Amino acid sequence: TGPSGSNFGIIACLFVEVFQSWQILKRPGRAIGKLAAIVVILFLFGLLPYIDNFSHFGGFIFGWFLAFAILPYVSFGKWDRRRKRLQIIISIIVVCGMFLTMALMLYRGQSLNCYACRYLNCIPISEYFCKNMGQNLELV
């Protein structure tokens, strides 16, 4: 799938940047709308064969939480500073938990037993459109 997961992580960073600087942006709603439109279009492209929406989801979630932990922020008062520090701590804990979960799934060989999940990667609009893209989504 290439670097698409990391690209979604960068887009998630942009979302966090807009949320963190909401008070100093002129039109933050417009920025969120533009970013949301880009994400929806790219997720729709992920419904084509050989484009992995699971990496898109994973990259977006990791990018979201890492952006809270790593990006610098501007605080507007004592309460805002405390809230943002708490977000950093929670984000680091969540990212570590997600990383450990993925590492365990990788080394234990967990596979996904979800019939509807195959439609997140490719919607079969014809009989051979998504035929065996090299994915095994059943328990081994």
Catalytic residue among 6, 21, 55, 56: 56
Q: Which of 4, 55, 91, 111 is catalytic?
A: 4
Reduced 3-state DSSP string for the chain: CCCHHHHHHHHHHHHHHHHHCHHHCCCHHHHHHHHHHHHHHHHHHCCCCCCCHHHHHHHHHHHHHHHHHHCCCCCCCHHHHHHHHHHHHHHHHHHHHHHHHHHHHHHHCCCCCCCCCHHHHCCCCCCCCCCCCCCCCCCC
For this structure, is 75 an active site residue? no
Name the residues annotated as catalytic: 4, 56
